[in-house]
Amino acid sequence: MKEVEIKILEINKREVIARLLREGARKIFQGTLETVYYDFPNRSLRKNGKVIRLRNEKNGCEMTFKKKMRSSKAKVMQEIEVGVSDYSKIARIFKGIGLKPIFRAKKIRTSYRLGAARFEIDEYPGIPVFLEIETTSVAALSKVMNRMSFKKDQIKHWSTFELFKHYKQKEMS
């Protein structure tokens, strides 16, 4: 499946939720997600625009493979997700083939759906609340963005790594 997304930085959570509800969105998830990204010691996956992620949430576990695709308008990834029943066994399989955890994060996520778009309000410790908008095409994303009103400087097509790097650098300034 193709995943097309952008991040909207430093949102007002209440205002965004109110706007989504006025537009007809429905809440589909709220909870804590624990995520671990894996790579080989030489970082060959990341260097080649690929990601392997293992995520724990209240309803189970999920393993994801993503491969970056070219786009200047959004973060576009080819994505394969699969539910897994045993987080620790998958982590041991990853270790067995030489993958190592390179990044761990825990966040609170509140998710809404409006049509085919998902709106993920994410809260990481030490990072201002942000919104991730996910669709299946750049055209669909443009339609969604036309309905919402965000400042251009808030809109980023960053990965999670880039988001953390941005706020870490900001902290050091």
Which residue from 75, 71, 54 is spatially nearest to 63, judged by alpha carbons?
A: 54
The percent of residues in the chain predicted with pLDDT above 90, rounded, is 69
Beta-bridge partner residues of 109: 31, 122
Q: How many contiguous H segments (helices) and E segments (strands) does the chain have?
A: 5, 9
Which residue from 166, 122, 119 is spatially nearest to 145, judged by alpha carbons?
A: 119
Q: Which two tokens stand for residue 149?
A: 């009103």
Q: How far is CA 111 from the centre of its chain?
A: 11
1-54 residue pLDDT tens: 788 999 999 999 999 999 999 999 999 999 999 999 999 999 999 999 999 999
pTM of the model: 0.88
Cβ count within 10 A of residue 22: 8
Q: Give the pLDDT score at 170.
A: 63
20-32 residue pLDDT tens: 999 999 999 999 9
Instruction: Check pLDDT > 60 for residue 173.
Output: no
Structural domains in the chain plus CATH codes: 2-172 (2.40.320.10)
